[in-house]
Amino acid sequence: MASLDGARSYLFVPATDAHRVDKALASAAHAVVVDLEDAVAEEGKVQARKLIAARLRMPRPRGAQLVRINGLDTAHGRADLQALDGLALDGIVVPKAEPQPLQALAPSGPPVVALVETATGLRRAFETASRPRVTALMLGNVDLAAQLGVTPGPDQRELLHARSTLVVDAIAAGIRGPIDGPCTAIGDEEALRRETVAAKALGFAAKACIHPNQLATVHDVFTPTDDELAWARRVVAAAEGSRGAVAVDGQMVDAPVVARARRLLAG
């Protein structure tokens, strides 16, 4: 099973076209999410499950492979879980994640990425992040914005509170920084870079993508720069043998900062 710890890109692809699924699995995406939910019409759900059963029997040669199922409290969601049994999955993405529906999951199984895309889900994100098997939160920015009745502008300030809340709740629950939702402006590299830089600054660890052309920009932004790595090495070196706070580049460095530096060096 491939680890999701270092994944910085999550490429979504609908389970409706075998060629597109194969192309996504062969892409440079750190994680591929084959979608059984929004991207599949009601009449296509059964066929989509068959496609997943055929394509995900073996591990992905490079990177992780996940499936976004339908809601856990729906008949389709229950059928999805049955169809996934025995497949080579590195995780499942649960939509409209809230603590109560997650109780339907078995205590063991593939790691869960909880997609927070409702106002209630946002208010209870810490509880969700604390549930067994949940290893990451993901922001469902499109659905959440629609429910809130807002239209995010170029600086995405309308969802700033939601993003900051998700970061705090994920870290407080002891899991990695969350995954930012996708940039819907396909082909607008400037908008994608702006969104990704802002998400990284807030504490997000990865970003969802909806087109392979978005991967290079997302990887570039989330890959530590030479300056960041050099700073991390100085911090770790200064902390070796120290029993308390030390100064690096004129700034106080204590245990949480050292831990962040070690995470940067670990990739």
Q: Across 54-184, where does the E strand assignment appear? A: 64-68, 91-94, 112-116, 134-139, 179-180
Give the tens place of pLDDT for each residue, 219-233.
999 998 888 888 888
Please check whether residues 69 and 85 belong to one and the same domain: yes
Q: Is the pLDDT of residue 107 over 90?
A: no
In a domain, 202, yes or no: yes
Q: Once rounded to an integer, what is the mean pLDDT over residues 44-48?
A: 97
Listed ranges 27-31, 223-227, 242-246; the one with the highest mean pLDDT: 27-31
Q: Is the pLDDT of residue 267 over 80?
A: no
Please check whether residues 234 and 219 belong to one and the same domain: no
Residue given tokens 């997650």 in the structure block: 102
Compare 211 and 228 and report the one with higher pLDDT. Answer: 211
pLDDT-derived band at 43, boundaries 50, 70, 90: very high
- pLDDT value of residue 155: 87
Give the tens place of pLDDT for each residue, 74-101.
999 999 999 999 999 999 999 999 999 9
Query: Do the Cβ atoms of 7 and 31 come closer than 8 Å?
Result: yes
Instruction: Domain count for the chain, please give it.
Output: 2
Residue given tokens 């992040």 in the structure block: 129
In a domain, 212, yes or no: yes
242, two tokens: 């120290």
- Mean residue pLDDT of the chain comes to 93
Distance in angstroms (rounded) separating the CA atoms of residues 37 and 39: 6
- pLDDT value of residue 4: 92
In a domain, 2, yes or no: no
- pLDDT value of residue 248: 82
Q: What is the CATH number of the domain that holds 84?
A: 3.20.20.60
Beta bridge partners of 67: 34, 92
Please check whether residues 148 and 237 belong to one and the same domain: no
Please check whether residues 69 and 42 belong to one and the same domain: yes
Q: Once rounded to an integer, what is the mean pLDDT over residues 51-56?
A: 96
Please check whether residues 201 and 232 belong to one and the same domain: no
Please check whether residues 170 and 63 belong to one and the same domain: yes
- pLDDT value of residue 245: 73
Look at residues 12, 7, 47 and name the one whose alpha carbon lies nearest to residue 30: 7
Between the two ends of the chain, the Cα-to-Cα distance in Å is 18
Least confident of 16-30, 172-186, 245-259: 245-259
Within 10 Å of residue 84's Cβ, how many Cβ atoms? 19
Q: Is the pLDDT of residue 162 over 90?
A: yes
Look at residues 157, 68, 62 and name the one whose alpha carbon lies nearest to residue 117: 68
Look at residues 103, 105, 109, 95 and name the one whose alpha carbon lies nearest to residue 137: 95
Percent above pLDDT 70 for the chain: 99
pLDDT-derived band at 20, boundaries 50, 70, 90: very high
Query: Do the Cβ atoms of 117 and 96 come closer than 8 Å?
Result: yes
Helix (H, G, I), strand (E, B) or coil at 112: strand
In a domain, 41, yes or no: yes
Percent above pLDDT 90 for the chain: 77
Which range marks the domain in which residue 261 is found? 227-266
